[in-house]
A and B are shown apart, each in its own frame.
Chain A
């Protein structure tokens, strides 16, 4: 059964986020041969439409309005509902990002629809569109289907592979004019303090520190390692509770759940609550003084040693590798 699918493209710093291409790939599966329509909302964003098409969208609908320059749930919901009203899709896919998490339940409530959040895989099985999603922060997984109405899901970054970019693909980019009114929340200021450019939830490499890092300064070598690898820095609850770093870096059952290609745990003992947030990473490296530390049980590679010795050596070694390759 083919379906018409709308996929919300998310823009940050003037560029489409990777998760939007992953959402298109998910949308393609859900569509079962039907049309996949990208949606872009913003002030001046239509130029990005072509890229959504190169990543697999059949066409793109753009709503441009100065009131959409910054994300607000009221503004985006009005624009999106206008697109939904025009296109009458049978399915919706968003990225499970801060924006997607904030907007999708509002839209679902408005449409009286179900919503499957934070999907890590999607397949067609037994005539159903089946989404896989972690529960208990990844301690278990569930497979879920929509039983009534619109198929609506958000997909977790870094889990569904995007389609190969095809620069020869073309399609229509049309615009829809929507009056945006009555914004009840107004963004007064944005304070940038995130992990110097690389977002933790989308990072391919995460270097995380625990209590073993011992101080805020102790995070410096970890930051250097992350910079060499183009990754982000994270932390365990222990390190956050000890005020070595901001809670926004916390990885675990409370905090963020990450699934990078490479997770390097430095001075992290591996409490169950931390493992929930990172154990589904593709490759895990543990560096810890204590050979009995729980973290070694989930690690693919381990070094028993002092992180303050090991991490700088690793940074140097990766630098050499980057020069040679």
Chain B
């Protein structure tokens, strides 16, 4: 089976966000594989181990994404592809990323493409379905279970807490929701092996794309931090009185109940 994973490098979830020069300040920040993409990588490896084939992890990014690609290889992916847009694109959006990925994937005869259902930085959740549409294959988002039998696929999908069981077929794109699996940590032998696995770097030229073909349709005009909350009121006294006071405050001062 020919399996591809769409991966994004993101800020660590425990990072505080600061802004300098109108942009998110990346200095000294820890970067990780987008947590939802980690589920996708893990699932891809499991599908390969059960059905045979090869897992290729792709990212659209800069040289700095190599580290996360190597981590994916150390988890067990077979190949990695970096589509390096550093020199070509200053302000891309989801239209840009999806178009680049689809252009790369269009002649790869992918059976299964996996990604995270959302990236924890931009948070749009658009790229997976956009890529599927551009490749004209079906997709299922926010999946928590994937069963493949030949070309028949049964997927369980999280829909705001309920589960939908969906029948579909390969080729297919799915996006991972929490609960799909427990991603493995790279093992030491895995990390050693990853160093020798192929990591192919491409640029827009190699995909016969011009900057104009992938020019963003949207633009960020301002980034700001939410207003800092003032310190709240920690109540005191007998617990029973605190509870009474709290309910009173919520009713009369905050007016939320």
Contact = CB atoms under 8 A, between A and B. Distances in A.
Contacts of B166: 185-188
B242 interface: yes
B251 A140 contact: no
Interface residues of A, number: 98
Contact of B250 (A73, A142, A283): A283
Contact of B142 (A73, A98, A115, A136): A98
A255 B129 CA distance: 19
A184 B162 CA distance: 21
A298 interface: yes
B141 interface: yes
B257 A318 contact: yes
A122 to B, nearest CB: 14
Interface string A122-160: 000000101001111111111111111100000000000
A28 to B, nearest CB: 21
Interface in B175-225: 177-179, 215-225
B62 to A, nearest CB: 19
Contacts of A117: 123-126
A135 to B, nearest CB: 6
Interface stretch (A41-49, A59-67, A164-172, A306-314): A306-314
Interface residues of B, number: 81
Given A190-B162, A298-B229, A317-B244, A105 B94 contact: yes
B120 A137 contact: yes
A118 interface: yes
A303 B246 contact: yes
B234 interface: yes
A272 B127 CA distance: 26
Contacts of B225: 139-141
Interface stretch (A30-38, A50-58, A215-223, A245-253): A245-253
20 contacts: A105-B94, A105-B129, A114-B95, A115-B94, A130-B221, A136-B120, A140-B17, A187-B164, A188-B154, A189-B164, A246-B161, A262-B257, A285-B246, A296-B234, A298-B229, A304-B234, A310-B243, A314-B243, A317-B246, A321-B247
| The 10 residue pairs across chains A and B that have the minimum distance between CB atoms | A114-B217, A194-B161, A184-B138, A109-B133, A105-B129, A105-B126, A114-B218, A302-B234, A189-B165, A247-B179
Interface of A: 73-74, 97-98, 101-102, 104-106, 108-110, 112-118, 128, 130, 133-149, 184-195, 199-201, 204-205, 229, 240, 246-250, 252-255, 261-262, 271-273, 276, 279-280, 282-286, 291, 296-305, 309-310, 313-314, 317-318, 321, 325
